[in-house]
Amino acid sequence: MNTILITGCSSGFGLATARYFLDRDWTVIATMRAPREDVLPGSDKLRILPLDVTDADSIAHVVDAAGPINVLVNNAGVGMFNALEGVSMDMVREVFETNTLGTIAMTKAVLPQFRQRRSGTVINVTSSVTQQPLHLLSVYTGSKAAVNAFTESLALELEPFGVRARLVIPGRAPATSFGDNARARTGMNIPQAYGALAAQVFAGWQQSPQDVTHPMDVAEAVWRAATDPSCPMRLPAGADAVAAAKAA
C-alpha cells in the first residue's frame, strides 16, 4: 500500500494532487494549515491533518501521526508580489520560513524513515520564475530558487540510500487562488517609485495568454516524480513552464 503526504492541500496544486492520488488508490495524508473536510471526497484512504510547516512541534506531530509514508510532497507555500523596497524584513523572513525553511524542515523530518527503509521520494514544488525571472517577485523567486538548489544537492546525498529527490516546477496558474493570496498578503503597498512598473505588470496580467499551468498539470507531474524512478530531476508542469524550461 503506497502512502503519500502532501502539504498545502486546501486548494490549488495540493488539492488537485491529493485527488489525483486518491483516484489511483493511494493512501493520501492531506495536510492543511486550517483543515477542511469538505474539499476532498470522503474515503477510507484519506486522512486530513493540521500542519504549519513553520512550526517544529506541528511538523513532529504530523510525521508521527502519519506513520510510514512512501512519498513526501512539499507543496505548501506563500507568495510575495512587491518591489523589495516595499516589503519589511519580517515579511521576507515569513516567505522564506514557509517556502524554503518549511520545505527543508519537512524533508528532514521524514528522511530517517526513508533512509532506514532505503526507499522513499521527496518531491518539492517550486516555480518557473526560477527559470524565467519576472518583475516584482524577487523575494518569492529567491525563496523558490533556494529550494531548487537544495533539492538538487540533497538528491546526491540521498542516492546511496535508495532515496530520491525531485523538483516539480509549475508555471503561472491563474485558475488557482495563489496570485490573489499573494497580492492580499502584501496589501499592494508598492512604493511610488515602482508604480509605473507595477501598472505595466498588472496590464500584462489582464491579457490571457494561451499557455498557463493548470492544477492537473502539477498533479500529473507529481505522479510521474513519485512513480517513475527514471524521470528527470526537474519536471516542468504546465505549457508555460515547459516553454520556460526550454528557453532557460
Neighbours of 124 (CB within 10 A): 26
Q: Is 20 a catalytic site residue? A: no
- Catalytic residue chosen out of the listed positions 13, 26, 140, 178: 140
Locate 157 and state its grid cell.
546525498
Of the candidates 165, 162, 18, 163, the one whose C-alpha atom is nearest the C-alpha of residue 104 is 165
Decide if 107 contacts 122 (C-beta within 8 A): yes
Alpha carbon distance 153, 220 (integer Å): 24
What sections of 79-177 are H helices per DSSP?
Answer: 89-96, 102-117, 138-158
Cα of first residue to Cα of last residue in the chain, in angstroms, is 38
Decide if 62 contacts 33 (C-beta within 8 A): no
Residue 234 DSSP label: E
Orientation of helix 102-117 relative to helix 138-158, angle to 10°: 10
Per-residue CA distances from 37 to 23, 32, 33, 48, 50 (Å):
17, 10, 13, 7, 11
Torsion of CA 114, 117, 119, 122, to 10 degrees: -10
List residues with catalytic annotation.
Answer: 140
